[in-house]
């Protein structure tokens, strides 16, 4: 292990009020404002000088060109985001107790879920928005899934797992650090049991009184799209007695809610066979009428066109595609993709039907999604009313000083 990380873990440097051993990053003139306003990222372009030789993942002290303290953060020279800021108080040191306190605060802020018997799966830590950049922690019934996305978190992974174990006493903690963005930090994928028991291959959770059987070891994200919890509920209110299309269904979240909400029939579309198999299990688990369910495995762009050519009509269509734009440079192509699926969706909606449309691309704002749907409506010759706009659920907070964290946006539209 590099010496810096070792020093960091045993906390030798973490003597309150003394930073003599800590490396310092001096910012360029005029580049410290966002950091002072609690934006947690510093890019290489903002850095003027580095004093000392911090190891990747090590805590550094960030100071302005006037030598005034700005914040403490962790450093990674391999990443475009070279420093992620953690602490703006100069008198506090980042040691084991600091990490545990931050985790406890994030957990405490979800206390309303503790009393909700109908929901036992939710996000406990949402990275930057919970003042713990690079860390995701999800609770799935009695298991915890942890995801480390950066070098800084990687360096304290054991400390975090230990704290989570003390604070939550789960049956087990499982690591799902296999997100592709880790490569931007020059980190390899890591996966497996960290503490306690190994989770079963499929685990049952409850969400709003519905049951879902999910795969936390190999499923998408950390096993389930917790961020859509509220939006599934909202969408299900619009489907009374109608025919619903759950496009990009994964394991059937929107379809399960819609059938419970009174949909007559649903069709699920996803390119992943395993996801559709799990969706079927989930519909059965909830005692829903599977006679009224149809599955289409394949590319949604193609399937939507096939449905249009076949003259299919739906009362409600959900479009919850994967990320189309991984960065701003892919924005135009992504917007063309959103326009395409929204156009075909409008063409298979009966007059007055409901379109539930999402984008989970961070680079796509709600305004740009609106624009893509607007151009789709022009081509479809349909007038569209927005009934509601949506975001990720409250266990995925949106930090005012960090708009980049708002990745999920959606609209409920009536298509005349
Ligand atoms: N609506 C889901 C989450 C959807 S995630 C929920 O509420 O849980 C996006 C889904 O799109 C994934 O299941 C993925 O397998 C699927 N997918 C990705 N590309 C696709 C494509 N081209 N056609 C159809 N499905 C696709």
Residue 240 is predicted with a pLDDT of: 84
Residue 188 is predicted with a pLDDT of: 96
* Ligand 1 touching residue 207 (CB < 6 A): no
Give Cα 240 to chain centroid, integer Å: 30
Closest residue by Cα to residue 50 from 42, 41, 62:
62
Closest residue by Cα to residue 208 from 187, 224, 229:
229
Task: Measure 278 CA to ligand 1 centroid, in angstroms.
Answer: 13
Contact 85, 72 (CB under 8 A): yes
Locate tokens 């961020």: which residue? 227
* Ligand 1 touching residue 275 (CB < 6 A): yes
Task: Measure 250 CA to ligand 1 centroid, in angstroms.
Answer: 5
Residue 5 is predicted with a pLDDT of: 52
Given the residues 247, 251, 360, 413, the one annotated as active site = 360
**What does the buried/exposed string (b/e) look like for 118-128 if buried means 16 or more CB atoms within 10 Å of the residue's CB?**
ebbbbbbbbbb
Task: Measure 352 CA to ligand 1 centroid, in angstroms.
Answer: 26
Question: What 3 state SS string does 39-79 have?
Answer: CCEEEHHHEEEEECCCCCCCEEEEECCCCCEEEEEEECCCC
* Ligand 1 touching residue 270 (CB < 6 A): yes
Exposed/middle/buried for 285, CB within 10 Å: 0-12, 13-18, 19+? Answer: middle
Exposed/middle/buried for 213, CB within 10 Å: 0-12, 13-18, 19+? Answer: middle
- pTM score of the predicted model: 0.93
Q: Which two tokens stand for residue 134?
A: 């690079």
Q: Please confirm, yes or no, whether 360 is among the known catalytic residues.
A: yes
From first CA to last CA, the distance across the chain in angstroms is 62
Q: Which two tokens stand for residue 353?
A: 């039907």
Task: Measure 321 CA to ligand 1 centroid, in angstroms.
Answer: 5
Q: How far apart are CA 223 and CA 216, in angstroms?
A: 4
CB-based contacts of 331-339 (< 8 A; 24+ apart in sequence)? 331/363, 331/364, 331/368, 334/359, 334/361, 334/363, 334/364, 335/364, 335/368, 335/371, 335/372, 336/372, 337/301, 338/364, 338/369, 338/372, 338/373, 338/376, 339/372, 339/373, 339/375, 339/376, 339/379
Q: How far apart are CA 416 and CA 413, in angstroms?
A: 9
* Ligand 1 touching residue 223 (CB < 6 A): no
Residue 328 is predicted with a pLDDT of: 79
Residue 18 is predicted with a pLDDT of: 40
Q: How far apart are CA 125 and CA 123, in angstroms?
A: 6
Residue 325 is predicted with a pLDDT of: 82
**Atom 21 in ligand 1: residue holding the nearest Cα:** 299
Q: What angle do CA 17, 402, 23 make, to 5 degrees?
A: 30
Residue 17 is predicted with a pLDDT of: 39
Of all atoms in ligand 1, which is nearest to the CA of residue 302? 23
Q: What is the mean pLDDT of each run of 10 residues along the chain (416 residues)?
A: 49 43 92 96 96 95 94 96 97 96 98 93 98 98 98 97 98 96 93 98 98 96 97 94 97 97 96 97 93 96 98 98 87 95 98 97 95 98 98 97 96 97
Contact 353, 415 (CB under 8 A): yes
* Ligand 1 touching residue 228 (CB < 6 A): yes
**Atom 16 in ligand 1: residue holding the nearest Cα:** 248
Residue 19 is predicted with a pLDDT of: 43
Residue 306 is predicted with a pLDDT of: 98
Whole-angstrom CA distances from 404 to 150, 201, 219, 288, 400 are 17, 34, 25, 39, 10
Task: Measure 54 CA to ligand 1 centroid, in angstroms.
Answer: 41
Q: Which two tokens stand for residue 26?
A: 């001096």
* Ligand 1 touching residue 271 (CB < 6 A): yes
């Amino acid at each position: 292990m590099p010496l810096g990380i070792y020093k960091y873990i045993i906390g030798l440097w973490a003597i309150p009020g003394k930073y003599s051993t800590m490396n310092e990053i001096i910012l360029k003139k005029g580049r410290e404002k966002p950091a002072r306003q609690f934006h947690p990222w510093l890019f290489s372009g903002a850095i003027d000088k580095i004093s000392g030789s911090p190891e990747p993942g090590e805590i550094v002290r960030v100071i302005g060109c006037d030598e005034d303290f700005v914040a403490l953060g962790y450093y990674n020279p391999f990443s475009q985001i070279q420093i992620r800021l953690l602490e703006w108080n100069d008198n506090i040191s980042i040691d084991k107790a600091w990490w545990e306190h931050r985790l406890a605060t994030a957990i405490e802020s979800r206390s309303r879920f503790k009393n909700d018997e109908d929901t036992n799966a939710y996000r406990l830590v949402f990275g930057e928005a919970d003042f713990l950049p690079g860390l995701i922690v999800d609770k799935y019934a009695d298991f915890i899934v942890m995801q480390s996305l950066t070098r800084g978190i990687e360096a304290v992974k054991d400390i975090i797992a230990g704290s989570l174990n003390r604070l939550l006493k789960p049956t087990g903690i499982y690591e799902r650090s296999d997100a592709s963005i880790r490569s931007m930090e020059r980190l390899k994928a890591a996966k497996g049991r960290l503490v306690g028991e190994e989770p079963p291959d499929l685990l049952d959770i409850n969400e709003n009184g519905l049951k879902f059987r999910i795969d936390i070891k190999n499923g998408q994200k950390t096993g389930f799209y917790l961020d859509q919890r509220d939006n599934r509920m909202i969408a299900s209110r619009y489907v009374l007695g109608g025919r619903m299309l759950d496009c990009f269904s994964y394991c059937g979240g929107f379809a399960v809610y819609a059938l419970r909400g009174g949909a007559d029939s649903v069709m699920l579309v996803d390119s992943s066979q395993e996801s559709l198999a799990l969706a079927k299990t989930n519909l059965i688990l909830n005692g829903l009428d599977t006679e009224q369910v149809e599955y289409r495995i394949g590319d949604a762009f193609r399937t939507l066109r096939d449905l249009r050519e076949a003259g299919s009509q739906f009362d409600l269509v959900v479009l919850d595609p994967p990320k189309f734009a991984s960065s701003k440079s892919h924005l135009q192509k992504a917007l063309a993709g959103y326009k395409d699926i929204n156009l075909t969706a409008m063409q298979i909606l009966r007059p007055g039907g409901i379109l539930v449309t999402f984008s989970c691309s961070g680079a796509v704002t709600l305004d740009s999604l609106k624009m893509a749907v607007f151009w789709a409506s022009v081509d479809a010759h349909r007038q569209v009313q927005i009934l509601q706009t949506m975001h990720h659920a409250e266990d995925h907070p949106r930090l005012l000083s960090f708009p980049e964290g708002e990745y999920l946006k959606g609209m409920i539209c009536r298509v005349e």
